[in-house]
Amino acid sequence: MNAERNHFFNDVYEVVRQIPRGRVTSYGAIAAYLGTKGSARMVGYAMNASHLDESIPAHRVVNRNGVLTGKHHFEHPNKMEELLTEEGIRIKGDRIVDFPSVFWDPEKNLYL
């Protein structure tokens, strides 16, 4: 069948899996890394479907503000914040403290 159709989802999942522990990245960064093929929204959309795959640390993906926009899509709204805190990331409200410091850019750490 058309594996090409899912190319975007597949790529997004792969990049997300490469995120080191204690780091986070943004939807836009992933989209930019894959190219302009998909906008940041598509990344978020892909993550929505990621709930089918347990291997995807979706909690390490936040929006460009460092806000846990997708926490409500987890098993429990607190799960995302909890997981990040476990990895040494401090959360204030729904926002990551010192976000640029824990930000992981695939373009700077991954080589294609």
Partner DNA sequence: GACATGACGATTT
Partner DNA sequence: GAAATCGCCATGT
Closer residue to DNA, CB minimum distance, 5 or 112: 5
d(CA 59, CA 86): 11
Which residue reads 């302009």 in tokens?
36
DSSP 76: S
Which residues of the shown chain bind DNA in the complex (CB under 7 A)? 5-6, 8-9, 26-29, 36-45, 47-48, 50-51, 58-59, 61, 63-65, 69-70, 73-74, 80
| Burial per residue of 53-75, b for 16 or more beta-carbon CB atoms within 10 angstroms, e otherwise | eeebbbbbbbeeebbbbbbeebe
Closer residue to DNA, CB minimum distance, 47 or 102: 47
The least distance separating DNA from the CB of residue 24, rounded to whole angstroms, comes to 11
The least distance separating DNA from the CB of residue 91, rounded to whole angstroms, comes to 14
